[in-house]
Structure 1
């Protein structure tokens, strides 16, 4: 088993795209990020040099492990369980420090346990996720209103709702480059509101990573004053319908496995669970009494 680090997302996709596409929706996170980086590389000629993109390749030249990290985010890992310990050992051997890991449940657990053995850090499971896929939209109760793009006039609101989503759903307390990110998302028509019959934004969802055949929906957020009214269901349902009508064969999203409300919302629309994932945070163990 050989591990190779690359500085070209186009090269990584060329080598590992088929491996990831075998489970396209389950691998939506690493596959989608690599495709975003490859698009950036095509247009600008380069990508940020602090990215970690690596593959584990066996003696027959088959990809067995894919590793992707966009600092300061956690390491994303997917691959065969039998080689994940070697992947952790390789990252440790080249001196890369990582704050955590995310991937399919057995995958990230195996890696996290080995990382703990190597570093002495405690691996804390901080988020369990369900991975969903939608191919056919089901009928569901729709609230009055309409789906619309967020515009430049909505930047402050989208920033606020994005920040609140990151804090509530992801546990993030720092939001670097938030305004720049939101402005870019809005200019690319990635942010959608469901507006009620008074044209007030009451729920938000974003179209995110494009896959070879599908697309990811994320950042589904409804402020507290509009929760439990069916707006999130309507917003995600309307956006998913729009994306399927654009020609995508499926929509995919990840949810907090311990949030029964959000999981119920998606299944009402027709999203089906196809896998699960878990995110681990690595913590130093204090030796002080």
Structure 2
């Protein structure tokens, strides 16, 4: 009989995307909503190249026992924060133990993340573990709520105009609005604006709402469908055009299109400090799934 330690879960680090995908895919697909960020990032790396998010090589982590059963994973695309899967459901002790193990593995490898992004309990546990090991101070940087679409309820009345999928002729506008969006939320973009626009245009990943005269007035992006889930991001309306219902209309349009195309789940994240967007998406039929938190380590 094998000893208990032979089956204890341990973290393994790898820079091999194919290895990570082969070992972690079933785990990530088992809960597509909770793993939406890891799924979309690894999909982008597989389709657009390992350095689409930056010049440094990505790093991946898998927590698995001796039988190969995976219970945790992370994707880290420097200079961005590592994105960590929920480590356990409703078990604070298991979360803390897995977080301690990961902190030890990273520290022993001489790695120093600038923070972490994860489901809130997991993010808090890893931040506490990292503080104990390195004496860094974790600070909440960004709090989000993940929503899943229930029954889509488009706004009535809808604003004048209609939706269309962005094409190559819209590239300059997408680049401009990508920059304005991230400036408005005060967040550094994960990708260069041009690279982001090209990646989205390659699969029809941005929908525009146009005024009756054909002028684009808002946009909603969507990830590619992976493991049955599609995530809406970003949603942006220029400041001088807000308050006219364009964001709700374009979000409803892209959400309906995703469902019509076969998506099992349509997801989106909101800023918990923005009551306007949280109320809007709930009116459209989105329902809360779980809260997520980004921590910075100082």
- TM-score of the aligned structures, taking structure 1 as reference length: 0.89
TM-aligned CA distance change 1:175 to 1:15, over 3 Å? closer
Whether the aligned pair in 2 keeps the contact of 1:125 and 1:281 (CA below 8 Å) is yes
- Say which is worse superposed, 117-126 or 232-241, in terms of deviation: 117-126
Instruction: Say whether 1:144 aligns with 2:160.
Output: yes
Change (3 A) 1:54 1:94: same
Q: Which residue of 2 aligns with 1:16?
A: 24
Q: CA deviation at 1:258?
A: 1.1
Q: Which moved more, 1:8-17 or 1:236-245?
A: 8-17
Which of residues 30, 55, 71 in structure 1 aligns to 2:62?
A: 55
1:257 aligns with 2:272: yes
The answer (yes or no) to whether the contact 2:165–2:206 under 8 Å persists in 1 is yes
2:75 matched to 1:75? Answer: no
For the pair 1:34 / 2:42, whether they are aligned, the reply is yes
CA contact (8 A) 2:116 2:294 kept: yes
The correspondence of residues 35-184 of structure 1 with structure 2, limited to 5 A, is: 35-39=43-47, 50-78=57-85, 79-80=87-88, 81=95, 82-141=97-156, 142-172=158-188, 177-184=192-199
Residues 41 and 199 of structure 1: CA distance in aligned 2, closer, same or farther (over 3 Å): closer
Alpha-carbon displacement from aligned partner over 1:190-232 (angstroms, at most 9, x marks no partner):
1221111121111111111422112111011111111111110
Per the alignment, residue 45 of structure 1 pairs with none
Task: Note the C-alpha offset of 1:272.
Answer: 0.8
Partners of 1:113 and 1:152 in 2: CA distance: 46
Instruction: Find the counterpart in structure 1 of residue 242 from structure 2.
Output: 227
CA contact (8 A) 1:68 1:75 kept: yes
Query: TM-score, with normalisation over the residues of structure 2?
Result: 0.86
Aligned length: 278
- List alignment gaps of at least 5 residues for structure 1: 43-47, 284-289
Q: Secondary structure of the equivalent of 1:137?
A: coil
For residues 119 and 209 of structure 1, the distance between their equivalents in structure 2, rounded to whole angstroms, comes to 38
Q: CA deviation at 1:250?
A: 1.8
Structure 1 SS opposite 2:37: helix
Counterpart contact for 2:154–2:252, Cα < 8 Å:
no
What's the RMSD between the two structures over aligned residues?
2.2
8 Å CA contact retained: 1:124, 1:281:
yes
- Identify which of 228, 237, 242 aligns with 1:213: 228
The structural deviation recorded for 1:175 is: 7.5
Q: Secondary structure at the match of 1:72?
A: coil
Quote the offset at 1:136 in angstroms.
2.8
